[in-house]
Structure 1
Amino acid sequence: MISKLLICAALIASSAAQAQIGTRFPSERKVVKDLVTGTMLTFLTSTPKGDSKIYPTHPQWTSDGKWLVFRSNRVKGEAMAVNEATGDLVQVTEGGYMGMLNLAQKSMKLYFMRATGDSKRVQIVEVDLARLFADSASGKLQKADAYQRICGTTDAQLEAGGDMALDADEEWAYFRTGPAWSAQHLPAGTKIEPAFGPRKMGAGPNGIARLNVRTGEVKHVVSVPFQIGHIQANLYNPGEIVFCWETGGKSPQRTWTVKADGTGLRPLYPEASYEWVTHEAVISKDEVAMAIMGHRPIPGAQGTSGVAAPATGVYGANPGQDDGWGATGTREKPTGLAIVNLRTREMAIAGQTPSGSGLWHVHGSSDGKWAVGDDFSRSVYLIDRKTREMIMLTTGHKTTAADHPHPTFNKEGTRIQIQSAMLSDDNRSMNIVVVPVPEAWLKR
C-alpha cells in the first residue's frame, strides 16, 4: 500500500514538472479572518508552493478583472493564474520566462521576456489568455504555440534584460539595455556614475529600448549614466515611462521619467540628500505613489518615534539598517506615503505610521480615493486620501516571509492584492491573497 502511494505521488510530481501551458490545478481558495483587524482575507493559494505576486509597478489582474497572474514553483520556472471567484489554477506559460510579467489591460494578453540560447539575446513573448482559459476549461488543450507568440528577439549587442514594461497602447514593450550599448548613446563627456552605498550597486551606464510587439521593430529610448532598476509604463498615458536609479537602498536621485521618444528626461521627484525615496508606482494618469522612508533612528536623539524595526536575520527582511547610507531615512524631516503629480510636479504626503519603520511598499487607487502601504512588521494600512484617515487592514503576515506584502490595488480600487506567509508552517513560503477595501469606505 505504501509503495503504491509513493508511486502515485511520484507520478503526480512528474506530471506537474512536465505540465504544459493550460494545465489546471485544484482550487486552494480559503477565506480567513484576520484575528487582529477582523478583515476577511481571501487566500487564493494556501499551500507552500513558492508563490509570489507581480511587483506593484505592474498590473496584477487580467483585463476582465477575473484572474490574477503570479509566479509559482508549482511548475518550476512557469507562471500561474488563479480565478478570484472559483480558485481555479491554470499554468499560463510554457518554456519559461524572465523578469516581469506584463498583463495587458485592453486585451486578454500576457507579455514577458524569455531567455534564449544566447545569453545576450532575449525573446519577448505574447500569450493569448482568452483562448488559453477557454481551451483549458473545455479540456481541449493544444500545443504551446497555439497560445504563445514570439513578438521579437533582441540583438545581442543590446544585452537586453531587467524589468519589461508594456506601454498603455499595447504596441511597445520597454526593457533595459546593457552598459556597452547604452554608452554609445550618451552625450560626449557624460560623467559615468560609480557604485553608490554599501551594496556596491548603482554604477552605469544603462539605457532603455523598446520593441514593437506587432512588428518586432526595436528603437533606442534613452541612456543614463547610472544603473536602471524598475521600469514601468504609465498605463493611462501612452508613451510615458517611469524608472529608477537602483542602488539596493538610498539613491542619489531615485525616481526618473522620460517619454518613449527619449525626450523629457528628468527626475520625477527631486530628492534631498537626507531623503530615502523608494518603491515608486504609477497609480493613475497623472500620479505616482512612492515611499519617503522614516525607518532609521535620528543620530544622537532619544525616544524618537522613527526608530527602525529590528532586522530578523532573513536577508533583505528590513533593509537599510546597515552603515554606509549616511544620515538618511530618518524622521527629522517629513516622511511617509508620498504622491507626486506628473503634470504639476507637486508632491503631497498622504499619510505615515506614527512609529516604527513607516510605510514602505506603496500603491493607490486610480480614482484618487485611496492609498495603501505596508511596513516592516508586514502590516498593511489603508489611507483615505480626502480625509487622511488611516486604518490597519491586516497584520501578522510574518517578518520571516520570503518577501514583503507589496500591496497593489485592482483598477476599480475595491480590492488589494498582497502576498503573505500567514498560513505557512515554515514561516517563509508565501501565498496570493486578496484584501477588500471595507464596505463602509466604499460607500463614502
Structure 2
Amino acid sequence: MKHIILVLGSIILFSSTVYSQIGARFPSEKKVVIDSVTGTELIFLTSEPKGDSKIYPTHPQWTSDGKWLIFKSRRVRGEAMAVNEETGDIVQVTEGGFTGMLNIAQKSMKLYFMRKADKDIMQIVEVNLGKVFTDSKAGVMKPISNYERICGTTPADMKAGGDLALDADEEWVYFKIGKETAVKYLSPNVKIEENFGPRNMGAGPDGIAKMNIITGKTEHVISVPFQIGHIQTNPWNAGELVFCWETGGKSPQRTWTVLADGSGLRPLYPEADYEWVTHEAVITKDEVAMAIMGHRKVDIIEDKPVEVTESKAVRNPENPGQESNWGPSGTREKPTGLAIVNLRTKEMTIAGQTPSGSGLWHVHGSSDGRWAVGDDFSRSVYLIDRHTREMMMLTTGHKVTAADHAHPSFSPDGTKIQIQSAMLSKDDKSMNICIVHVPKSWLERTYSEK
C-alpha cells in the first residue's frame, strides 16, 4: 500500500512539473458554432471552462507569423498560453508567471512582459516564441534559460508596474511608475487631481517611464497630475504613445497622447462635460478608435451630483455607469457612437452607433481603414463598413453574465476579429477565445472614388 501511495504521489508531482513548464502542450479544443441569431460562423479556439481571456484591444493579439494567438488562462495558473489558429494546438509560453499586459512583437517571434522580482522591482522579460514552438512540437523542451531573456530590471525607487507597451521599433517598452517618482517631475504649481466618480479612482500624480530592451537602460518619459491607464504604443510609428486618465468610468479628460521623449503631451480628443469617452485603441498609423458612450437615459441624470454612498457606487455589470455621481454625461442628447480620431489632423468622425440600448462600448478597427468593430452591454458584436457607414450585428448571445466583455480586436490583415465569449460555458461566466470572420460578401466589396 505504501508503494502505491508513493507511486501515485510521484505521478502527481511529475504531472504538476510537466504542466508548469514552458512548451507544455494541450489538446485542441477547436469547435465551430453557428450563431443561432445571425447565422455567423464562430470558430472557438478554446472551448473548455479554463478561465481564458484575450489580450486587451490596445495591444496586438497575433504572433508575427500570423499563426498563433496568445492569451491568459488558468490551465496553468499565472501563465500565458498560445493557440494555433489552424490546428487548435495549445502551448504554454511563459514559465514563472507574469504581471500586467502581454506584448507580442510584430517584427519578430518574441513576447515581452513584466515579472515581479521583488517588492518594488520589476523585470522586463523576453521569450523567444519561435524556439518554444519548434521545441514543443518536437517534444524536446530545454530549461527555461534557453527561451527566456531578462531585458532589464527597474530601479526599486521607480516602483514600476501597471501596463506595459512595446514600441514599434521593438527597442523600448513603456510602463507606469509610482506616485513618489512621478511627482518629482511635476512643477509645484501643477494641481494634483483628486478621485473622480463613484469608483474612487483617478487621483494623481502618475507617470510613464521606458526601458531599452537591448541595454536595460531606463528613462523617465512624462508625469501627469492624474491616474494613468491603458498605456499603448502606435504599432506603425515608433515613439508615439496613447494613454488615458483612468477613473473606472467617465473622466474629465479621458484620452491623451505624448511622444517617447516626453514632448507633445496633449489631449487626444478634447471632450466636453456631457461626453463619456472610453476604450481608446490605436487602429491605423494615423487613427485611434474610441467609444463616446450613449448608454444613459436623460431622466436618470440629476441636476446636481448627489452624495456618494455605498449603494450608489455599486456597479451593475449588465448596465454599468448608471450612478448619478458620474455627472451629466453618456446620454444621447449629443452625438455618440464609435468615434475615430486622426492623430495628425485631429479630425473626429463617428463611424456608427447602435439605434438603442447601451451603444458601442469596446471598439477597434482594421489597419487598412475599411472596417470598425464594437461590442455593447449585451456582449453583441457589430461590424461597420467605414466607407458606407453600414452596420451589421455579427454575433450575439455571448451572455451578459460573462466574466468579462467581448473586447473585439481585428487581425493584422483585417479579415477576422478575435473576441472572448462565455457562449459555451455552463456556468455562464467562464470565457473562451473565439474568431469571427468578416463576411465574404463584405470583403469582396469595391468602392468607387465617389
Same fold, judged at TM 0.5 (above): yes
- Aligned counterpart, 1:356: 357
Counterpart of 2:256, as a letter, is: W
Matches within 5 A, 1:184-333: 184-299=184-299, 316-333=317-334
Looking at structure 1, the residues matched to 350 and 14 of structure 2 have their Cα atoms a distance apart, in angstroms, of 49
Query: In structure 1, what is the Cα distance between the partners aligned to 2:401 and 2:286?
Result: 36
Once the 2 structures are TM-superposed, how far is the Cα of residue 145 of structure 1 from its aligned partner?
Answer: 1.0
Task: Trace 1:109-128 onto structure 2 (pairs within 5 A).
Answer: 109-116=110-117, 118-128=118-128
Deviations 1:1-57 (A, max 9, x none): xx99xx69x849943785200010000001111111111110000000000000000
Query: Which whole-Å CA distance do the structure 2 matches of 1:55 and 1:65 have between them?
Result: 18
What's 1:370 paired with?
371
Q: Structure 2 unaligned segments of length 5 or more: list them.
A: 302-313, 446-450
SS class of match (2:46)? coil
Quick check: 1:22–1:141 contact (8 Å CA) kept in 2? Answer: yes
In 1, the alpha carbon distance for the partners of 2:315 and 2:300 equals 28
Cα deviation code 1:149-183 (max 9, x no counterpart): 00000001111011100000000000001100000
Counterpart in 2 of 1:305?
none
Q: 1:387 to 1:141 in 2, by over 3 A?
A: same
Q: Specify the alignment match of 1:415 in structure 2.
A: 416
> For residue 304 of structure 1, what is the aligned residue in structure 2?
none
Mapping of 1:338-357 within 5 angstroms? 338-357=339-358
Cα distance, 1:300–1:329 mapped onto 2, change above 3 Å = closer
Matches within 5 A, 1:26-45: 26-45=27-46
What CA distance in whole angstroms lies between the structure 2 residues aligned with 1:314 and 1:23? 39
The aligned runs of 1:59-138 (5 Å cut-off) are 59-116=60-117, 118-138=118-138
Quote the residue 2:306 is aligned against: none
Q: Secondary structure at the match of 1:283?
A: strand
**Secondary structure of residue in 2 paired with 1:324:** helix
The amino acid of 1:175's aligned partner reads F
Conserved? CA contact 2:318–2:378, under 8 Å: no
| Structure 2 partner of 1:307 | none
d(CA) in 1 for partners of 2:94, 2:359: 37
| 1:259 to partner: Cα distance | 0.1
Aligned to 1:181, what secondary structure does the other structure show? helix
The aligned counterpart of 1:403 is 404
Q: Could you tell me how far apart the structure 1 residues matched to 2:281 and 2:98 are?
A: 23
- Residue 385 of structure 1 and its aligned partner are, at CA, apart by 0.2
Conserved 8 A contact 1:100-1:165: yes
Q: Is 1:146 aligned to 2:143, yes or no?
A: no
State the partner residue of 1:48. 49
Partner AA of 1:15 in structure 2: S
1:216-248: CA deviations, max 9, x gaps? 000100000000011000001000000000001
- Quick check: 1:164–1:173 contact (8 Å CA) kept in 2? yes
Identical-residue share of aligned pairs (%): 71
Secondary structure of the corresponding residue to residue 135 of structure 2:
helix
RMSD: 1.9
Aligned mates of 2:300, 2:52 — CA distance in 1 = 42
Q: Which amino acid aligns with 2:357?
A: G
Answer whether contact 2:243 2:256 (CA < 8 A) is retained.
yes
| CA–CA separation in structure 2 for the residues paired with 1:86 and 1:14 | 24
**Residues of 1 paired with 2:13 and 2:365: CA distance?**
41
- Between the aligned partners of 2:284 and 2:278, the Cα distance in structure 1 is 18
What corresponds to 1:426 in structure 2?
427
Aligned-residue offset at 1:317? 4.4
Please give the per-residue CA displacement for 1:372-399, whole angstroms capped at 9, x wherever unaligned: 0000010000000000000000000000
| Code of the aligned partner of 1:336 | G
Tell me: CA distance 1:201–1:66, structure 2 relative to 1, closer, same or farther (3 Å): same
CA distance in 2 between counterparts of 1:189 and 1:18 reads 54
Residues in 1 aligned to 2:273 and 2:111: alpha-carbon distance in whole angstroms: 39
- Paired letter, 2:380: S
Question: Cα distance, 1:319 vs. partner?
Answer: 2.1
For residue 35 of structure 1, what is the amino acid of its counterpart? S
DSSP 3-state at the match of 1:182? helix
1:160 aligned partner, one-letter code: A
Cα deviations across residues 277-323 of structure 1 (Å, max 9, x unaligned)? 0000000100000000000111279xxxxxxxxxxx98644321223
Contact 1:167 1:235 in 2 (8 A): yes
Decide whether aligned partners of structure 1 residues 104 and 300 sit closer, same or farther in structure 2, where only a CA change above 3 A counts: closer
Deviations 1:174-211 (A, max 9, x none): 00011000000112311100111111100000000000
Aligned counterparts of 1:42 and 1:242: Cα–Cα separation in 2: 32
1:182 corresponds to: 182
8 Å CA contact 1:249–1:319 kept in 2: the answer is: no
Contact kept in structure 1, 2:315 and 2:321, CA below 8 Å: no
Q: Is the 8 A contact 2:300 2:324 kept in 1?
A: no
The amino acid across from 1:45 in the alignment is T
**Paired residue type of 2:406:** P
Aligned residue for 2:142, secondary structure, equals: coil
Report the equivalent of 2:309.
none
SS in 2 for 1:230: strand
State the SS of the aligned residue for 1:319: coil
Q: Distance in 2 between matches of 1:17 and 1:108?
A: 24
Alignment-derived partner of residue 309 in structure 1: none
Aligned residues: 429
